[in-house]
Amino acid sequence: MCYKTSSKRIQRQVVGFVAAVALASTLSVLIGTPAQASGRFIGSWAGNWGRVAWGDGCDNLPTRDIPHGAAELLINGWAQSDNTYVEYILVRNMTGRHIQFTNGIVIHGVDADDFVYRAIEPLPSGSTARLDLRHAFSGSRLTMNLDPSIGFDDPVSGYCGHIDTQVDSNTANSAIGYRYIQMGGPASDLGWPTTSELDAANGGRWQGFQGGLMLWHSSIPQAYWLKGAILDEFRALGSEWTVGYPTMDEGDAANGGKWQAFQNGRIYWSPSAGAHWVHGAILSQFVNLGSEWTLGYPTTEELAAANGGRWQQFQNRLMLWHPNTGAHSVYGRILDEFRALGSEWTVGYPKTEELAAANGGRWQEFEVGRIYWSSSADAHWVHGAILNQFVNLGSEWTVGYPTTEELAAANGGRWQQFQNRLMLWHPNTGAHSVYGAILAKFREVGSERTLGYPTGEESAWGSGRRQPFQNAWIYWTPTSGAWIEYPCVPGSPC
């Protein structure tokens, strides 16, 4: 038989007909010839293919191939006579699901295994039905039941034809069908089509299948397949209008994940993180740093941040971007400190990636200061005048790592403890460090509340050392230790 019915039987009740036809000696059907402009094929179908009793099977008929270049099959309508109609048009194994009458009537329908097109209303005399053959694949069968009085499960007569779809071009009328054929048609993971090929954004095309979606645009090499969670994310984001067209099929990524590139970024998926879009400057830096192998998979979309910036969370790092700084990642204990301080609202955006520091430590530059980390001191922020003096003195190589945040001191000053020195700042004195025996004596007598703030760094004095403060000098020698001379003598350096 031409058609093997599925378990879902087609009911005899048919709403309308494909065409009112007169059966004299043959059914007149036109199939197109290549016209340069239209791509149609024109010629006699019934005369070459012939009528057959249904039980004889279409496979025993002489067949006439229709090259894939035939954009459409034309079926002319005639006035009704002797109550005979073209009741069904059945297209087996065909990926295009679209029949359009010239007067706008559309035929459609699906059975479990094959595509069954049913007329919504009779085809008016003199009009023409167009069957879209652009995405049929090799081996398809086109059949018509000519007797509406007998159920479709047991028809007595019909006409059959063979479709040969050798595709050799990548055009708007062939790219999706060509790719579908290459993938194996309905036997592939795409399965059967669920829509006709339809218009998409900016002159592209799309078609739905049981196993996903195929999209094509003239700016990409071929049609590509979207499926599963990446397809869901693609749709949620606004499809090709937002993400652009796919430029590859879904590919394997680290640790069992998946990714797919689009014109406007990439969508990554993993079982633990789900599917998320990465794009723009954050994508560029993500790739530079080693992609998901280093940063892990995205766990959020890109979102708005302070002062016109953007951020996106990944499994292993936070990525931030601002037009003044570019995109950089923050992670680990420096990220914890960054967040504890108020993130980019306080510290500003990162200006560098995390970098190596003295003795196995790490540091990272932000718009407002730096965050330093070491295994012994943890992570702390250094900024402003104290940061400037810290750098002038040799940074962590000399002063050591910060062990506290910058804190309030007497009379509007600031202080911050480092591993090797105490840093103090006041608007009248600037920032200076105090350390060693002089620092011990400074604290012993009441620190800046007694002696005021240091007005200079410690310096050599004979065999010893000395340092000026607002209210006194502290001296030190190996033999005498540290002592204070105050009040200052008028005209003295203090």
> Vertex 57, ends 52 and 60: CA angle to 5°?
85
| Predicted pLDDT of residue 117 | 39
pLDDT beyond 70 at 37: no
Between residues 72 and 418, which one has the greater pLDDT?
418
150-183 pLDDT, tens digit each: 333 333 334 444 443 333 333 334 688 778 777 8
Domain contains 387: no
398-411 pLDDT, tens digit each: 999 999 999 999 99
Q: Which domain holds residue 64?
A: 19-166
pLDDT beyond 50 at 279: yes
pTM: 0.70
Q: How many CA atoms lie within 13 A of 175 on its CB side?
A: 20
Domain contains 140: yes
89-119 pLDDT, tens digit each: 443 333 333 333 333 333 333 333 333 333 3
The enclosing domain of 89 has a CATH number of 2.60.40
pLDDT beyond 80 at 340: yes
Domain contains 308: no
Say what percent of the chain tops pLDDT 90: 57
Question: What whole-number distance in Å separates Cα of residue 156 and Cα of residue 150?
Answer: 8
Domain contains 337: no
Domain contains 452: no
What's the structural domain count of the chain?
1
220-258 pLDDT, tens digit each: 989 999 999 999 999 999 999 999 999 999 999 999 999
Domain contains 160: yes
| Predicted pLDDT of residue 182 | 79
Domain contains 273: no
pLDDT beyond 50 at 70: no
Say what the alpha-carbon torsion angle 238, 240, 244, 246 is, to the nearest 10 degrees: 120
**Which of 72-76, 207-211, 429-433 has maximum average pLDDT?**
429-433
Q: Residue 473's beta-bridge partner residues? A: 468, 485
| Predicted pLDDT of residue 65 | 42
| Predicted pLDDT of residue 2 | 30
Domain contains 368: no
| Predicted pLDDT of residue 114 | 38
**Average pLDDT, stretch 315-339?**
98
| Predicted pLDDT of residue 172 | 38
434: its two tokens: 């105090």
pLDDT beyond 80 at 59: no
**Average pLDDT, stretch 361-371?**
98
> Vertex 346, ends 452 and 339: CA angle to 5°?
115
Between residues 142 and 218, which one has the greater pLDDT?
218
